[in-house]
């Protein structure tokens, strides 16, 4: 074997990402998505692979450049999937035995999601539709097509990160009869369908949407949404909930008696833990299961390898249990919950991030998981004997070349005796007895969680000679309702103290850390906190703030979620609470900044718009501070996870370069 080397930013070009495992309930065969950077390094390619139930035979199954979202037909004979060609995604069908795929939808604006009917006779899918533009935002039309057109905006939610300005269309459900080829529209109106699910008898469809209510006539101002049921002809629609829930995903129970909702009751705003709710399928009062369970149900882990791992609830074959992800203590597990509320247990645990899974015959589990030393592979779990088996080694060739730093987990108690979990990574070339510089990494959200998963950025810093440490301060998910709710109304308070006490703990506990050479970086909320830190302490040698918030007053009006998020997290608005918003704004303390600060921001970031970076940069330059602004063209808030490969690499190099420029390695 050749001598191992350190990881580089360009190794991104050779990485493979595994996702979307789906299992045939008949044969146990597995389809999944393999994603790579394109040969020209100008984007990503993805295709479906097919694996035998025993994991021995694993072959490419489709040859499209962007094939995603595979789904087995109920009888196991066909696979439907989304294929992007030119500018739209359509649903395609291919025989489970292989052959030529054929397109079965032809929607003007493409298809964003779909589901087979349980009887296999129809497909339910979601697409955008034009609506009456006389009462909605639209572009003025004129007789001179070469002339620029003004955009008229009538709704507050007129833009969205990763999408851009609202196009005047709405997302609605359509039903395609696979026998007659008839396609009918099931929903319509000035609202967007979010999640949806078939009833067990294929006669009804449940969906979630935010519609006007008596209490809140403008649905864009609502924090919650509702559950609705419509028949398969689209003739009867019924509202099932009362506007007091925020519903994430839904599914009919196998017996057809209930609709299961993963939802929260907004009792702690955006920090409210997700619970299991059941509502009678024919209408009635919903109820929560396991109300006293102080864990986050679902996926809330941070990684620069993916943007998320959301999956609809899955049920055991006997219909008695639902299987869900559980975010807890730095890991994402799989839990099994009895639908009668009698018992629950974590059945797949470990120091890892299980980001997706599916149930195989006999309730065996096929799951995609990452850990601190690998970015994701497929595994199987045998329910009978409890054995796990690794099915793929998608990065084996590249990983054989690399020397990686393995994080060491630690827990410390803060000054108010609150336990905080964290990790530290040594530099790759660490020599015992030496002193090394260190970087504090701060995650976004803030209601997310660092965990036992692979981080390219952290490994690059370790390869460059830095120790890296990161924690889940109060405000993070994974440690219960009180922990995750603490940051609301207190940005820059207890969360800042947790981080500073983590620095103290690391310096005291790990003698190889050079306390005179510590840097700090973070993105989104982590960028806010980086900005806050450099305005409140001089202890850091250098800092890099990414896609950050600097001014809550302007953020309220320019972010795609600012008008809701600012109220929920800072407990104020600019006209009633100007002083409060300014007090929690890092830019208010810009005169105190003495730490060299690099500012990284995507030009199309609508979650934390680039004006937040521009304000901070201009103020720092005017005050004669050491700073630099790097703007990434056409990049949104997800640049670090799913942005253009060239820009992802550029971003990583800027981070390393700034620390090398201002910290002695």
Nearest to 112 by CA among 129, 100, 95: 129
By DSSP bridging, strand 467-471 and strand 436-442 are: parallel
Residue 441 CB-half CA count within 13 A = 25
- Torsion, CA 343, CA 349, CA 354, CA 358, rounded to 10: -50
**How big is the CA angle at 260 (ends 256 and 265), to the nearest 5 degrees?**
150
The one catalytic residue among 16, 637, 654, 662: 637
Decide if 106 contacts 89 (C-beta within 8 A). no
Give the Cα separation of 156 and 563 in Å (integer): 9
Query: Looking at 64-189, which runs of residues are DSSP E strands?
Result: 67-72, 78-85, 88-95, 102-103, 113-116, 122-130, 138-139, 151-152, 159-160, 164-165, 169-177, 183-185
10 Å CB burial of residue 218 (0-12, 13-18, 19+) is exposed
Q: Which two tokens stand for residue 568?
A: 């929920």
Residues 6+ apart with CB under 8 A from 496: 529, 532, 533, 536
Phi, psi at residue 302, to the nearest 5°?
-95, 135
Active site residue 662: no
Decide if 519 contacts 530 (C-beta within 8 A). no
The one catalytic residue among 195, 224, 251, 524: 524
> CB under 8 Å, gap of 24 or more: what pairs does 46-50 form?
48/79, 48/81
CA 403 to chain CA centroid, nearest Å: 28
Secondary structure (3-state) at 372 = coil
Give the Cα separation of 615 and 626 in Å (integer): 15
Residues 6+ apart with CB under 8 A from 97: none
Nearest to 545 by CA among 607, 489, 608: 608
Sort residue 271 into left (φ over 0), alpha (ψ -120 to 50) or beta.
alpha
Beta-carbon count within 10 A of 386 CB: 9
Give the Cα separation of 301 and 317 in Å (integer): 29
Decide if 78 contacts 95 (C-beta within 8 A). yes
Give the Cα separation of 399 and 640 in Å (integer): 21
Give the Cα separation of 455 and 517 in Å (integer): 22
Active site residue 19: no
Q: Containing H/E element for 45?
A: strand 44-51
Catalytic residues: 524, 637
């Amino acid at each position: 074997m050749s001598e191992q080397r350190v990881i580089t930013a360009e190794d991104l070009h050779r990485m493979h990402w595994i996702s979307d495992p789906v299992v045939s309930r008949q044969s146990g065969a597995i389809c999944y998505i393999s994603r790579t950077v394109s040969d020209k390094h100008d984007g990503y390619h993805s295709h479906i692979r097919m694996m035998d139930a025993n994991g021995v035979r694993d072959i490419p199954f489709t040859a499209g450049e962007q094939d995603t979202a595979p789904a087995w037909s109920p009888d196991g004979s066909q696979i439907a999937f989304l294929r992007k060609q030119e500018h739209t995604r359509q649903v395609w069908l291919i025989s489970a035995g292989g052959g030529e795929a054929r397109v079965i939808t032809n929607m003007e604006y493409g298809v964003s999601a779909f589901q087979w009917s349980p009887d296999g006779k129809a497909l339910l899918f979601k697409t955008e539709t034009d609506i009456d533009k006389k009462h909605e935002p639209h572009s003025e039309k004129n007789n001179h097509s070469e002339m620029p057109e003004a955009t008229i905006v009538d709704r507050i939610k007129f833009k969205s990160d990763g999408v851009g300005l609202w196009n005047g269309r709405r997302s609605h459900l359509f039903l395609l009869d696979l026998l007659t080829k008839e396609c009918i529209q099931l929903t319509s109106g000035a609202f967007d369908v979010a999640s949806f699910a078939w009833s067990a008898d294929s006669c009804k469809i449940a969906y979630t949407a935010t519609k006007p209510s008596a209490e809140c006539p403008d649905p864009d101002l609502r924090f919650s949404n509702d559950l609705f049921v419509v028949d398969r002809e689209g003739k009867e629609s019924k509202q099932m909930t009362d506007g007091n829930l925020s519903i994430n995903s839904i599914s009919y129970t196998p017996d057809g008696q209930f609709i299961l909702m993963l939802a929260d009751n907004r009792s702690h705003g955006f920090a409210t833990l997700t619970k299991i709710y059941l509502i009678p399928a024919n209408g009635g009062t919903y109820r929560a299961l396991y109300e006293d369970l102080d864990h986050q149900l679902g996926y809330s882990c941070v990684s620069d390898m993916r943007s998320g791992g959301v999956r609809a609830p899955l049920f055991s074959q006997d219909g008695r249990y639902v299987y869900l992800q559980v975010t807890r203590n730095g890991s994402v597990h799989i839990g099994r919950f009895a639908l009668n509320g009698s018992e629950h247990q974590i059945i797949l645990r470990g120091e890892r991030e299980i980001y997706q899974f599916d149930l195989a015959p006999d309730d065996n589990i096929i799951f995609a998981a990452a850990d601190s030393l690998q970015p994701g592979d497929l595994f199987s779990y045998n329910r009978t004997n409890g054995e796990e088996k690794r099915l793929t080694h998608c990065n084996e060739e590249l990983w054989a070349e690399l020397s990686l730093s393995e994080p060491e987990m630690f827990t410390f108690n803060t000054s108010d005796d609150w336990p905080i979990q964290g990790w530290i990574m040594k530099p790759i070339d660490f020599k015992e007895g030496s002193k090394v510089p260190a970087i504090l990494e701060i995650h976004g959200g803030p209601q997310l969680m660092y965990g036992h998963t692979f981080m390219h950025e952290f490994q690059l810093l370790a390869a460059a000679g830095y120790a890296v440490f990161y924690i889940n301060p109060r405000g993070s998910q994974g440690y219960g309702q009180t922990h995750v709710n603490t940051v609301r109304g207190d940005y820059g308070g207890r969360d800042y103290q947790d981080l500073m006490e983590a620095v103290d703990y690391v310096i005291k506990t790990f003698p190889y850390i050079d306390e005179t050479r510590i840097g700090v970086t973070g993105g989104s909320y982590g960028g806010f906190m980086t900005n806050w830190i450099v305005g409140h302490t001089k202890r850091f040698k250098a800092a890099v703030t990414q896609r950050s918030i600097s001014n809550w007053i302007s953020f309220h009006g320019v972010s795609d979620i600012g008008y809701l998020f600012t109220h929920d997290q800072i407990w104020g608005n600019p006209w009633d609470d100007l002083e409060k918003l300014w007090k929690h704004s890092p830019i208010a303390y810009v005169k105190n900044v003495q730490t060299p600060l690099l500012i990284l921001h995507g030009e199309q970031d609508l979650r934390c718009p680039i004006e937040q970076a521009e304000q901070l940069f201009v103020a720092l330059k005017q005050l004669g501070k050491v700073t630099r602004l790097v703007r990434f063209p056409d990049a949104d808030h997800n640049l670090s996870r799913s942005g253009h490969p060239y820009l992802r690499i550029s971003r990583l190099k800027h981070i390393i370069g700034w620390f090398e420029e201002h910290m002695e390695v």
